[in-house]
Structure 1
């Protein structure tokens, strides 16, 4: 079996999310005596990975981070190789998946900010071509719209620290008196906290910050991050088990389970 991460090797080895996913998948496979191959495939490098995956080199593929217009995702969907996407597949791609309830997690974040009296709210979104990032932004903005807040400023990042810094700087220029920021990942949220403090803004007194993931960094940031917890290990283990089942009986596991998310309130909001 192969785990294919639709990112560069640098992202694979620097972001804890992928390590947590792969570790959980490996634990399931080890119990079955099945070896695991880990591959990366960006849009630019997908032609290197494709032949091994579709020519009988593996019996199943766990796909992580499938994005719109990614050549490998399109090829795998048409290949007949058993595939399970960890995360909802892009629109128009017919792949079974396991997903988190990203929209509901973002709803919880928005309601928490509203209940806290925050009214000048902005968002740092993830890559728009990634379904999870899009769902988080839509869940957040839809909840605010129901409360009468439309057209909130949105800066886009790629889940990295540097993109979170640039996004927070852009938001401060656009909205100097903002009092809350929702970031689509804890790494970007931690970067926003750092940027706000450098700009003389106190967190949470002046600006509340909420992240997403409940990654280890959420507990190390000062102040500790309020965030949306997603059950990463359960997510990866379930996707792996369903993939194993589909390798034995392709039509038995076309269900697409969605796992719940939960707001974890700490010091930053």
Structure 2
């Protein structure tokens, strides 16, 4: 069989048989073993051979037989993206869809599909744990866990590789994770507000059973010191909670002149509450968020915020998970944040 027979993708000619690894090897000019190594992650394959095989796969229209591959390797060749939140949060909070897209793209480089599951209720957690324990996936990317969540406890006890997005509170030694430097990011933005002449800087925290909620509050307190509890209100990362927390802050501390909000979504709610109270942003009250989600640019006024490096977080999540699947010990990556100044502060 010659290379010229593969001038069009599989399926374009009636009755044509499915291309095989042997066909890919012939077109690429490499051995079948080299093609097999490329399909199994590219270990010990030169860049030129990798490129030749990938071009041959595209040219021949070769499609991997995952069932046969799984029988040989004892792997499922898929990964689960598990969001430990109610389903509606996935659609409300843009960070989750950004992470999902990034992780999907990174896993695509390994020819591994990503399965999405939500586990925000006890019933959902039970279904997810049973599914994950049945050998359907090789590993789990766990997103938005709360301290004491039984899902994290159950997964960390098993043999299935798990990597958490954010510090897995109470499981840091057993579970690999990738996180932004929440505390330093909070310090940076609160210091900026103080340097701009703001003296009564309040904060709206995230949930205090999450690493972001705890560490962003700690960063705030590192800068403001012992300012009273009237300048701290709590949210749950939803827009509605940001609006309600801002309303409470204005009642308790009407002289506040700035607020650091622990997420951009909550900051949108804070802006709504300030408008209703007749406060101008930033003239009367400066507002700063955290995340640099796409909604930060579209806010009115556009939000000063702390940028999380979501692309790098996605890449590191996948890198650590592939390492865990390969048998490496759990490790952690903490990535720096960046202050982004816009018109709200």
TM-score normalized by structure 2?
Answer: 0.74
CA 1:183 to 1:174, structure 2 compared with 1: closer, same or farther past 3 Å? same
Confirm whether residue 233 of structure 1 aligns to residue 317 of structure 2. Answer: no
Question: Unpaired runs of 5+ in structure 2?
Answer: 1-78
Deviation at 1:105, TM superposition (A): 0.3
Q: C-alpha separation between the residues in 1 aligned to 2:319 and 2:287?
A: 36
In 2, are the aligned partners of 1:121 and 1:152 still within 8 Å (CA)? Answer: no
* More contact order relative to length (CA 8 Å, sep ≥ 6): 1
Q: C-alpha separation between the residues in 1 aligned to 2:212 and 2:199?
A: 25
CA 1:140 to 1:159, structure 2 compared with 1: closer, same or farther past 3 Å? same
Question: Unpaired runs of 5+ in structure 1?
Answer: none
Write out per-residue CA displacement over residues 188-207 of structure 1, whole angstroms, 9 at most, x where no aligned residue: 11211121111111111110
Write out per-residue CA displacement over residues 162-197 of structure 1, whole angstroms, 9 at most, x where no aligned residue: 111111111111111110111000111121112111
For residue 325 of structure 2, give the secondary structure of its aligned residue in structure 1.
helix
Aligned partner of 2:284 in structure 1 is: 206
In 2, are the aligned partners of 1:12 and 1:19 still within 8 Å (CA)? Answer: yes
Deviation at 1:92, TM superposition (A): 4.3
Aligned partner of 1:74 in structure 2 is: 153
Q: C-alpha separation between the residues in 2 aligned to 1:245 and 1:92?
A: 18
Confirm whether residue 64 of structure 1 aligns to residue 140 of structure 2. Answer: no
Deviation at 1:57, TM superposition (A): 2.2
Confirm whether residue 52 of structure 1 aligns to residue 131 of structure 2. Answer: yes
Q: C-alpha separation between the residues in 1 aligned to 2:171 and 2:309?
A: 26
Confirm whether residue 86 of structure 1 aligns to residue 162 of structure 2. Answer: no
Q: C-alpha separation between the residues in 2 aligned to 1:54 and 1:68?
A: 22
Query: Size of the alignment, in residue pairs?
Result: 265
More displaced 10-residue stretch of structure 1: 45-54 or 76-85: 45-54
Q: C-alpha separation between the residues in 2 aligned to 1:149 and 1:7?
A: 32
- Aligned ranges for residues 156-235 of structure 1 at < 5 Å? 156-235=234-313
Q: C-alpha separation between the residues in 2 aligned to 1:24 and 1:237?
A: 7
Aligned partner of 1:124 in structure 2 is: 204
Q: C-alpha separation between the residues in 2 aligned to 1:35 and 1:268?
A: 40
In 2, are the aligned partners of 1:109 and 1:182 still within 8 Å (CA)? Answer: yes
Write out per-residue CA displacement over residues 76-120 of structure 1, whole angstroms, 9 at most, x where no aligned residue: 010121001111101245211011000000000110111111111
For residue 293 of structure 2, give the secondary structure of its aligned residue in structure 1.
coil
For residue 104 of structure 1, give the secondary structure of its aligned residue in structure 2.
helix
The two structures, once aligned, show a CA RMSD in angstroms of: 1.3
Aligned partner of 2:324 in structure 1 is: 246
Instruction: Pick the structure with greater CA Rg.
Output: 2
Aligned partner of 1:268 in structure 2 is: 344
Confirm whether residue 29 of structure 1 aligns to residue 107 of structure 2. Answer: yes
Write out per-residue CA displacement over residues 28-65 of structure 1, whole angstroms, 9 at most, x where no aligned residue: 11111111111010242311211111232211000001
Q: C-alpha separation between the residues in 2 aligned to 1:116 and 1:26?
A: 40
In 2, are the aligned partners of 1:39 and 1:49 still within 8 Å (CA)? Answer: yes
Deviation at 1:69, TM superposition (A): 1.1
Q: Which runs of 4+ in 1 moved over 4 A?
A: none
Confirm whether residue 140 of structure 1 aligns to residue 140 of structure 2. Answer: no
